[in-house]
């Protein structure tokens, strides 16, 4: 018997109501599906586009608008975002907190981006910190961390982690410690992010933020490994380490039902293996290279589709 048949039987036996039958039947026939994630992503992209437009306007027209007009405009917009978030925020909790309004998270994200734009403009025009401008990154990261935990926003947490990574990179390069060790430093940063997320999870401080920490950590570690393994002078052990990390990421993604980590492991591992295999023949046989990409690319896509279908069923 088909699923539709079971639903019809349950309705006749009064095991489900007519409304439940109609709703379940629509799902079975794929007449309804959620587009929440897609719309949510598009709205965040829209917010980023608005912030980008503000930054472009400042850069292109600051001479004609004047410093005072730009600073007052940016400060007013930042203050409006801050007021909205403060006025509508729910009390702080160590656990997950639902967004108080539909637009709350987007206003918060816009405020963070406007804050970065204003700091950039201030330094560009007035050179307050000059050679120590990297401390703007540190201050921004601190503000983003506070906002992420106070208002429970994982997008802002991602912004904080990436900004902190930028500060570490700039600071270490100024100290001369980054030259020749960029891959090792990136690996250390990825491990530190995972450790920090794990410790906060154990203390039950926003435990649902752990996944965001792991997203950033996985990308940092896998990117560092694939970059290091692709160096002409790199040892084969780097490729082995990349494959081991990719396999672990895929296994954890499947076990914990997080498809994004499966994609990370597959793509980074594929890039590392492909670069290593094609290096001897890259400039010798275009036919071999083309055939490899066609066959291997099709195999990777097919594998991801099969895994995605399994995730969809679950």
Domain end, chosen from 151, 185, 217, is at 151
Domain end, chosen from 151, 186, 206, is at 151
Q: Is residue 48 part of a domain?
A: yes
Full residue range of the structural domain in which residue 295 is found: 176-314
The answer on 40 and 6 residing in a single domain is: no
Q: What would the pLDDT profile of 147-203 be if each residue is shown by its tens digit?
A: 999 999 999 999 999 999 999 888 877 666 666 678 888 899 999 999 999 999 999
Q: Are 143 and 113 in contact (CB under 8 A)?
A: no
Q: Centre a 10 Å sphere on the Cβ of residue 294 and count the other Cβ atoms it contains.
A: 10
Per the structure, the count of domains in the chain is 3
Q: Is residue 194 part of a domain?
A: yes
Q: What would the pLDDT profile of 16-67 be if each residue is shown by its tens digit?
A: 787 777 777 666 665 555 555 556 666 667 777 777 887 787 777 776 778 8
Return the structure tokens found at 20. Answer: 């439940």
Domain end, chosen from 109, 136, 151, is at 151
Q: Is residue 42 part of a domain?
A: yes
Q: Is residue 123 part of a domain?
A: yes
The answer on 186 and 313 residing in a single domain is: yes
The answer on 246 and 127 residing in a single domain is: no
Nearest to 137 by CA among 158, 159, 105, 152: 159
The span from the CA of 34 to the CA of 178, in Å, is 45
The answer on 4 and 64 residing in a single domain is: no
- For the full predicted model, state whether its pTM sits above 0.85: no
Q: Is residue 157 part of a domain?
A: no
The answer on 306 and 213 residing in a single domain is: yes
Q: What would the pLDDT profile of 71-125 be if each residue is shown by its tens digit?
A: 999 999 999 999 999 999 999 999 998 888 889 999 999 999 999 999 999 998 8
Q: Centre a 10 Å sphere on the Cβ of residue 209 and count the other Cβ atoms it contains.
A: 20
């Amino acid at each position: 018997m088909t699923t539709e048949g079971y639903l019809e039987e349950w309705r006749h036996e009064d095991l489900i109501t007519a409304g439940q039958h109609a709703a379940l039947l629509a799902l079975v026939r794929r007449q309804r599906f959620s587009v929440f994630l897609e719309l949510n992503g598009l709205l965040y992209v829209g917010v980023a586009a608005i912030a980008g437009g503000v930054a472009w306007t400042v850069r292109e027209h600051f001479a004609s608008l004047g410093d005072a007009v730009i600073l007052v405009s940016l400060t007013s917009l930042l203050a409006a975002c801050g007021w909205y978030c403060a006025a509508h925020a729910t009390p702080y909790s160590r656990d997950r907190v639902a967004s108080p309004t539909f637009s709350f998270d987007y206003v918060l994200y816009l405020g963070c981006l406007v804050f970065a734009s204003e700091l950039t403009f201030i330094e560009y025009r007035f050179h307050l910190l000059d050679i120590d401008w990297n401390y703007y990154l540190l201050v921004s990261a601190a503000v983003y961390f506070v906002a992420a935990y106070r208002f429970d926003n994982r997008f802002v947490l991602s912004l904080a982690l990436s900004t902190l990574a930028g500060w570490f990179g700039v600071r270490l390069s100024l100290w001369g410690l980054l030259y020749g060790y960029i891959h090792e430093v990136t690996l250390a940063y990825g491990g530190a992010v995972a450790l920090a997320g794990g410790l906060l999870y154990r203390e039950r401080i926003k435990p649902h933020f752990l996944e965001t920490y792991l997203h950033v950590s996985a990308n940092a570690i896998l990117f560092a490994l694939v970059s290091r393994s692709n160096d002409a002078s790199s040892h084969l052990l780097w490729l082995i380490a990349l494959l081991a990390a990719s396999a672990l990421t895929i296994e954890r993604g499947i076990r914990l039902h997080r498809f994004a980590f499966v994609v990370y492991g597959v793509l980074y591992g594929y890039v590392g293996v492909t670069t290593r295999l094609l290096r001897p023949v890259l400039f010798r046989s275009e036919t071999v290279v083309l055939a490899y990409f066609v066959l291997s690319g099709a195999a990777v896509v097919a594998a991801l589709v099969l895994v995605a279908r399994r995730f969809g069923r679950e």
